Amino acid sequence: MKRVIALANQKGGVGKTTTAVNLAASLTATKRRVLLIDSDPQGNATMGCGIDKHAQSRTSCDVLLGDCSAVEALVAVEYGGFMLMPANQDLTAAEVRLLTMTVGREFKLRNALAPVREDFDVILIDCPPSLNMLTLNALVAADSVMVPMQCEYYALEGLTALMQTIEQIKESINPALEIEGLLRTMFDPRNNLANEVSAQLLEHFGDKVFRTMIPRNVRLAEAPSFGKPVLFHDKESRGALAYLALAGEMIRRDELPGAPVQPDTPDTPDSPDTPDSPDTPDSPDSPDTPDTPVLPDAPV
């Protein structure tokens, strides 16, 4: 696992923010020191962590523009136990200001993070749904990119553009940038197209595709409205278990580089006989604070 991981996909609504918030909580649950950076003017990661994006005096906007240091902009996430650099619509103005700069505009986030890099085991950056200056700053600051994606027809088309951008950044400004992995989100194994796209992904990207798949799960969708990661909303839901499995897969890959990956079976972790709908919640409400979880294996 690389220290600074950008969650990027210029396609909107693919699960970048859901992954950022819930992976931050899952990695924290395994005793990693985690920082989540909201680098999207929508401020969804901020709100999803229970932090009021309108009430912040210092945000990633101020950090990018050099108006405050990274450490000055950090807030502690109560339900999660990690640190957050919040964002709100001010970030749009920051992007415009960056565009007018001629020198070093792509390095603003990288330089700002340098003093805090060693204070965290993992720094996750939630990118906006665009290949803009904010995403570019994230990709220059990052050691690797995680690409959440839905297994649908147009997903592959967008992926080509993203991969080209990553390649260009590697060749020019950040040669060390790697692909952390492609993450299949909102996966529904009953959907034939999803299975086909998933098979194509595995064929093209092989080990770069995480074996863990994130199922479509109503608990994941409703957790942000409580301002909590799903682990603190319903720790036994399939969504919570899937993000713990993802954290486990990342840690295992880190500790055992080159270890054989488990075979992929597209019909888990969701199961055809347990449809996910608001009428069929995954499990009864659970207490707010999760026990230290035992990481489940990536679904096989």
**List of residues contacting ligand ATP (CB under 6 A):** 12-18, 40, 42, 44, 129, 185-186, 214, 216-217, 220-221, 224, 239
- What tokens does 229 get? 């990661």
Nearest distance from residue 145's CB to Mg ion, in Å? 15
Please say whether the beta carbons of 150 and 186 come within 8 A.
yes
Helix (H) or strand (E) holding 101: none
Is residue 105 helix, strand or coil? helix
Q: Return the one option of ligand ATP, Mg ion, none that residue 214 interacts with (CB less than 5 to 8 A, by type).
A: ligand ATP
Residues 145, 39: Cα–Cα separation, whole Å: 14
CB closer to Mg ion, 144 vs 185? 185
Nearest distance from residue 280's CB to ligand ATP, in Å? 13
Give one word for 158, left, alpha or beta, with left for phi > 0 and alpha for psi -120 to 50: alpha
Which span sits near Mg ion by CB under 5 A: 21-29, 31-39, 42-50, 194-202?
Answer: 42-50
| CB-based contacts of 276, cutoff 8 Å, min separation 6 | 215, 216, 217, 218, 238, 270, 282
Nearest distance from residue 233's CB to ligand ATP, in Å? 12
Which span sits near Mg ion by CB under 5 A: 13-21, 168-176, 196-204, 239-247?
Answer: 13-21
Footprint of Mg ion on residues 209-248 (CB under 5 A)? none
Residue 16 within binding range of Mg ion, rule CB under 5 A? yes
Q: Residue of minimal CB distance from Mg ion?
A: 17
Nearest distance from residue 155's CB to ligand ATP, in Å? 12
Q: Return the one option of Mg ion, ligand ATP, none that residue 12 interacts with (CB less than 5 to 8 A, by type).
A: ligand ATP
> What is the secondary structure of 93-146 as a DSSP string?
HHHHHHHH--SSGGGHHHHHHTTTGGG-SEEEEE--SSSSHHHHHHHHH-SEEE
